[in-house]
Amino acid sequence: MKLTVLSNITSRLDWRCFIALCSLLLSLSVSAAEVYKCEKNGAVEFSDQPCSEQAQTIRIEVRQPDPDAVSAQQSLTATFEEESRISEIRQLNQRNDELEQQMRQAQQQHQVEMQKLQDRTYDFGDGRVATREYGLFEKMDELDARHQQNMQSLQQQIEKNQQALEQLYP
């Protein structure tokens, strides 16, 4: 198996490649390995076989991690994941509270604006309403339509957050 990694001769990239190679070797459960590093045509190459006489030998010894250290890391990871889950739940709940507040404010604002328009009408007393102002009823209809659209949008956002919350509960 020949592993080749090319870089722009930057040591930072060389170390990234080296670390990636070490990780690969660790995952293969090899107890020891030799890796060869050479430079060909301005590019750095890593291989499990010598690529030239000037190849630099890098010996990698792989050790099994301490079971207690593995257990401690798994515990830390589980704690982090749980704290992240709880934080996300709090954020979604807070966002839903904010959206519900926006809905209440939008409802109040709609009522105020609608009342201003209704004040420019008069009632015949038999359920009929009229106005002398051209287009007033259309303005009322447009106001209602915008309000309903806004309320639907806010409600959809709340429902989307609720679905995300359901996914976060075990």
| 5 within some domain | no
State whether 17 and 93 are in the same domain.
no
- Can you give the pLDDT at residue 16? 54
Question: Three-state SS string across 26-77, please?
Answer: HHCCCCEEEEEEEEECCEEEEECCCCCCCCEEEEEECCCCCHHHHHHHHHHH
pLDDT band at 145 (very low <50, low <70, confident <90, very high): very high
Domain span including residue 97: 68-168
| 1 within some domain | no
| 2 within some domain | no
The span from the CA of 165 to the CA of 90, in Å, is 9
What average pLDDT does the segment 25-31 reach?
Answer: 52
- The total number of structural domains in the chain stands at 2
Strands 129-130, 122-123: parallel, antiparallel or unpaired by DSSP? antiparallel
- Can you give the pLDDT at residue 21? 57
Q: Give yes or no for residue 4 having a pLDDT over 80.
A: no
- The reply to whether the predicted model has a pTM over 0.75 is no
- Can you give the pLDDT at residue 14? 53
- Can you give the pLDDT at residue 11? 38
State whether 148 and 91 are in the same domain.
yes
What average pLDDT does the segment 9-15 reach?
Answer: 43
| 150 within some domain | yes
- Can you give the pLDDT at residue 90? 97
pLDDT band at 64 (very low <50, low <70, confident <90, very high): confident
State whether 78 and 120 are in the same domain.
yes
Q: Could you tell me which residues come within 8 angstroms of residue 133 by beta carbon, excluding any fewer than 6 positions away?
A: 120
Q: Give yes or no for residue 30 having a pLDDT over 50.
A: no
State whether 78 and 35 are in the same domain.
no
| 90 within some domain | yes
What average pLDDT does the segment 39-48 reach?
Answer: 84
Q: Write out the two tokens for 53.
A: 């006489």
Q: Give yes or no for residue 29 having a pLDDT over 70.
A: no
State whether 72 and 151 are in the same domain.
yes
| 4 within some domain | no
State whether 56 and 79 are in the same domain.
no
State whether 103 and 42 are in the same domain.
no
State whether 75 and 49 are in the same domain.
no
State whether 93 and 118 are in the same domain.
yes
**Of residues 134, 37, 150, the one with CA closest to residue 102:** 150
State whether 79 and 47 are in the same domain.
no
Q: Give yes or no for residue 125 having a pLDDT over 60.
A: yes
14 or 45: which leads in pLDDT: 45
Which of 32-41, 72-81, 92-101 has the weakest average pLDDT?
32-41
